[in-house]
C-alpha cells in the first residue's frame, strides 16, 4: 500500500517497532494527525501524522522513543495511572516510511481538561483545600520530571492536560521541546492564555523559563476555581484578551495600585491560601518576574511547597532524602505538624528537635479521610528496574532546578506559613 496517501488506515498493516500490526478503528483526529486503535492489546494506540507533518516530526519522534530521552512516570510505576502519554515506538509503513508512533492508550472519557476540572471539580464548595493542593502538586511534579530530563513543554494548553479523580495526565507530547545529547527539537505551538509577557521564546532555556510562568498560571487556576491570575477589574485594568491582560495588568492580588483589583471578589479566597504559596505566586507574577522572568519558581520549588502544604513528608518531596523514605505519615503518627491548621497565619507550633519542621493541611476538614491511595506510596522512591544511565554510561544531565537545592534546604528550615 502507499500509506503516505491513505486518509484512513483502518484495516491496513503497519510496522510498529519491529512488529507488523494491523491498524484498528479510528479513535479521533486533530490538526496534525489521526489516532487509531491497534488490533491486539487494548493498551496500545497509534498516532499517524498527516502527510504534510511527517517530515518535520520523524527525527523528533525517533529521538523521543529512545529510553534515555523518556521522562520518568512514577505515578504509573506505583499506581498504574499514566501521568504522561509519551511515544513508545515508531510506526512506519511497509516500505519503511515514517507514519507516526505508538503510545499507551489512556481512557479520557471520564477526565476533564485542566481548566474545566478547576472550574467544575475544584470549586471551594465541593472540594477541600487538600484536594486542590494535591492536584496542583501532581501537575508540578510531572513538569518537574520533564524538566529533569532537560525537555520543555512550550504548548502549555489546558486542553493538553487531563485530570480525573485528582490524577493528572499530559498528552500531545510530540509538541514538546525535546533535548537530546546532540540535538534540540523545538516546536512553534503556544497558547496565549498561558504565554508569559515576553511571549514566544526561542531557545530551550527560554522555553523552560516560560514553562515556569505557565505552570504558575495553571496552579493558580487549580487553586482558585479556574480564575486567571491577571484577570482584573477597575479603572486602570487592561481589557481585551487574557494575553492583553497579562501584558497590561500588574498582578492584582499583590498590588497596592489604585484602580486595579482581582475580579469578582476573588481576593478573599486568595488571602486564605497558605502564605508560602502566595509568596510563590508573587515571585512568579510580580513585576520583575512578570516582565523579565527573574525568580520564577521552578517546578521543583512548586512541588516542594505544594507537597509540604498538602502534608507530604519532606523526604518524599523533590530534593528530599529519597533513600530513607517509606511512604506518607499516617494519621496519628509522626510529627506534631499533623495537629494544626497551616492555613491560619498564627498557629505554628514550637518544635525544636534539631530537625526541619514539617506541616500538613487540615483546612477544617478531617484529614484522615483525605489520604488517597497515591499518597500512601512514595512517589519519589526509586523503582528497582529503573536506571539513571543508558548502556553507554550516559547519565542524566542536571537542570536549573538543581541550582535551587540550597535555597530549598534553607526554606525547609523555616516555617513557610509564618510571617
Q: What's the CATH number where 261 sits? A: 1.10.510.10
Tell me: the pLDDT tens digits for 171-211? 999 999 999 999 999 988 888 899 888 876 778 999 999 99
Asked whether residue 259 falls in the same domain as residue 227, the answer is yes
Averaged pLDDT of the chain? 79
Cα–Cα distance, 316 to 331 (Å, whole number) = 17
pLDDT, residue 198, reads 82
The phi, psi pair for 197, rounded to 5°, reads -60, -30
| 3 vs 264, more confident | 264
Query: What's the rounded mean pLDDT across residues 39-58?
Result: 90
Residue 338 · residue 329 · CB < 8 Å: yes
* pLDDT at position 262 over 50: yes
Whether residue 388 is found in the same domain as residue 367: yes
Do both 205 and 222 map to the same domain?
yes
Side by side, the strands of the sheet bearing 161-164 are 112-113, 161-164, 167-170
279: containing domain: 112-412
Q: Read off the C-alpha cell for 120.
A: 467544575
Please give the pLDDT value at position 289. Answer: 52
Lookup: cell for 275: 502564605
pLDDT confidence band for 44 (50 / 70 / 90):
confident
Domain assignment present for residue 347? The answer is yes
pLDDT value of residue 385: 36
Whether residue 215 has pLDDT greater than 90: yes
Domain shared by 152 and 40, yes or no: no
Q: Which residues are CB-contacts of 206 (< 8 A; sequence separation ≥ 6)?
A: 198
Residue pair 359/312 in contact (Cβ under 8 Å)? The answer is no
Q: How far apart are CA 162 and CA 373, in angstroms?
A: 19
Looking at the structure, tell me whether residues 48 and 156 fall in a common domain.
no
| Helix or strand (DSSP H, E) at 138 | helix 129-148
Whether residue 302 has pLDDT greater than 90:
yes
- 377 in the same domain as 402: yes
Q: Indicate whether 417 belongs to any domain.
A: no
Instruction: Report the pLDDT value the prediction gives residue 199, as an integer from 0 to 100.
Output: 73
Q: Are residues 138 and 218 in the same domain?
A: yes
| Global confidence as pTM | 0.77
Identify whether the C-beta of residue 199 lies closer than 8 Å to the C-beta of residue 412: no
Q: Is 404 helix (H, G, I), strand (E, B) or coil?
A: helix
> Which of the residue ranges 111-115, 168-172, 210-214, 294-298 would you say has the lowest mean pLDDT?
294-298
Within a domain: residue 399? yes
Q: Is the pLDDT of residue 405 over 70?
A: no
**Burial per residue of 219-228, b for 16 or more beta-carbon CB atoms within 10 angstroms, e otherwise:** bbbbbbbbbb
When divided into structural domains, the chain yields a total of 2
Nearest CA to 342 out of 286, 417, 270 is that of: 417
- Residue 418 falls inside a structural domain: no
According to the model, what pLDDT value does residue 291 have?
54
Q: How many residues does the chain have?
A: 419
387 and 255, same structural domain? yes
What is the C-alpha separation between 236 and 312, in angstroms, rounded?
A: 41
Q: Is 413 exposed, middle or buried (0-12, 13-18, 19+ CB in 10 A)?
A: exposed
Is residue 104 classed as helix, strand or coil in its secondary structure? strand
**Do 408 and 378 reside in the same domain of the chain?**
yes
Cell of 417: 506559613
Look at residue 419 and tell me if it is in a domain: no
| Candidate from 80-94, 267-281, 311-325 with smallest mean pLDDT | 311-325
Tell me, yes or no, whether 346 lies in a domain: yes
Mean pLDDT (whole number) for 32-57: 91
8 A C-beta contact, residue 46 and residue 368: no
Contact 163, 111 (CB under 8 A): yes
Confidence band of 266 (pLDDT split at 50, 70, 90): very high
Place of cell 498516532: 47
Is residue 189 classed as helix, strand or coil in its secondary structure?
coil
Q: What does the pLDDT average to over 402-412?
A: 42
Q: What is the mean pLDDT of residues 333-349?
A: 36
H or E element: which one contains 58? helix 51-64
pLDDT band at 298 (very low <50, low <70, confident <90, very high): very high
263 and 183 fall within a common domain: yes
Residues 95 and 117 in one domain: no
Segment 30-36 shows an average pLDDT of 92
For residue 283, the model assigns a pLDDT of: 93
Predicted confidence band of residue 146 (pLDDT cuts 50, 70, 90):
very high
Mean pLDDT across 223-227: 98
Q: Three cell numbers at 402?
A: 538543581
Residue with cell 476555581: 225
Residues 6+ apart with CB under 8 A from 376: 327, 328
Is 157 in contact with 129 (CB distance < 8 Å)? no
Provide the 3-class DSSP secondary structure of residue 177.
Answer: strand
Q: Is residue 82 part of a domain?
A: no
Amino acid at each position: 500500500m502507499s500509506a503516505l496517501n491513505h486518509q484512513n488506515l483502518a484495516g491496513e498493516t503497519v510496522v510498529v517497532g519491529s512488529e507488523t500490526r494491523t491498524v484498528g478503528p479510528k479513535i479521533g483526529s486533530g490538526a496534525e494527525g489521526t489516532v487509531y486503535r491497534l488490533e491486539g492489546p487494548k493498551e496500545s494506540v497509534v498516532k499517524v501524522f498527516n502527510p504534510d507533518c511527517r517530515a518535520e516530526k520523524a527525527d523528533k519522534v525517533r529521538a523521543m522513543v529512545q529510553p534515555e530521552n523518556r521522562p520518568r512516570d512514577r505515578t504509573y510505576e506505583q499506581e498504574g495511572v499514566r501521568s504522561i502519554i509519551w511515544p513508545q515506538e515508531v510506526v512506519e509503513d511497509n516500505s519503511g516510511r515514517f507514519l507516526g508512533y505508538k503510545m499507551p492508550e489512556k481512557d479520557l472519557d471520564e477526565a476533564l481538561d485542566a481548566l474545566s476540572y478547576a472550574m467544575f471539580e475544584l470549586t471551594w464548595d465541593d472540594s477541600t483545600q487538600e484536594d486542590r493542593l494535591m492536584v496542583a502538586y501532581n501537575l508540578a511534579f510531572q513538569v518537574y520530571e520533564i524538566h529533569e530530563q532537560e525537555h520543555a513543554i512550550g504548548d502549555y494548553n489546558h486542553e493538553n492536560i487531563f485530570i480525573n479523580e485528582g490524577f493528572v495526565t499530559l498528552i500531545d507530547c510530540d509538541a514538546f521541546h525535546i533535548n537530546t545529547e546532540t540535538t534540540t527539537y523545538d516546536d512553534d505551538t503556544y497558547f496565549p492564555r498561558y504565554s508569559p509577557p515576553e511571549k514566544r521564546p526561542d531557545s530551550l532555556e527560554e522555553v523552560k523559563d516560560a514553562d515556569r510562568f505557565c505552570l504558575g498560571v495553571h496552579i493558580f487556576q487549580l487553586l482558585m476555581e479556574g480564575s486567571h491570575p491577571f484577570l482584573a477589574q477597575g479603572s486602570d485594568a487592561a481589557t481585551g484578551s487574557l494575553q492583553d491582560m497579562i501584558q497590561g495588568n500588574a498582578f492584582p492580588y499583590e498590588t497596592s495600585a489604585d484602580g486595579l483589583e482581582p475580579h469578582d471578589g476573588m481576593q478573599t479566597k486568595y488571602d486564605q491560601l497558605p502564605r508560602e504559596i502566595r509568596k510563590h505566586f508573587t515571585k512568579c507574577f510580580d513585576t520583575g518576574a512578570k516582565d523579565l522572568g527573574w525568580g520564577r519558581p521552578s517546578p521543583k520549588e512548586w512541588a516542594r511547597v505544594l507537597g509540604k502544604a498538602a502534608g507530604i513528608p519532606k523526604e518524599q518531596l523533590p530534593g528530599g532524602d529519597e533513600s530513607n523514605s517509606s511512604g506518607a505519615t499516617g494519621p496519628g503518627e509522626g510529627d506534631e505538624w499533623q495537629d494544626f491548621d497551616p492555613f491560619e497565619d498564627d498557629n505554628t507550633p514550637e518544635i525544636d528537635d534539631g530537625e526541619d519542621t514539617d506541616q500538613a493541611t487540615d483546612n477544617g476538614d478531617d484529614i484522615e479521610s483525605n489520604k488517597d491511595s497515591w499518597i500512601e506510596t512514595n512517589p519519589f522512591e526509586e523503582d528497582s528496574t529503573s536506571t539513571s544511565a543508558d548502556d553507554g554510561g550516559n547519565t542524566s544531565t542536571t537542570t536549573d532546578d538543581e541550582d535551587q537545592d540550597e535555597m530549598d534546604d534553607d526554606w525547609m528550615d523555616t516555617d513557610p506559613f509564618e510571617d
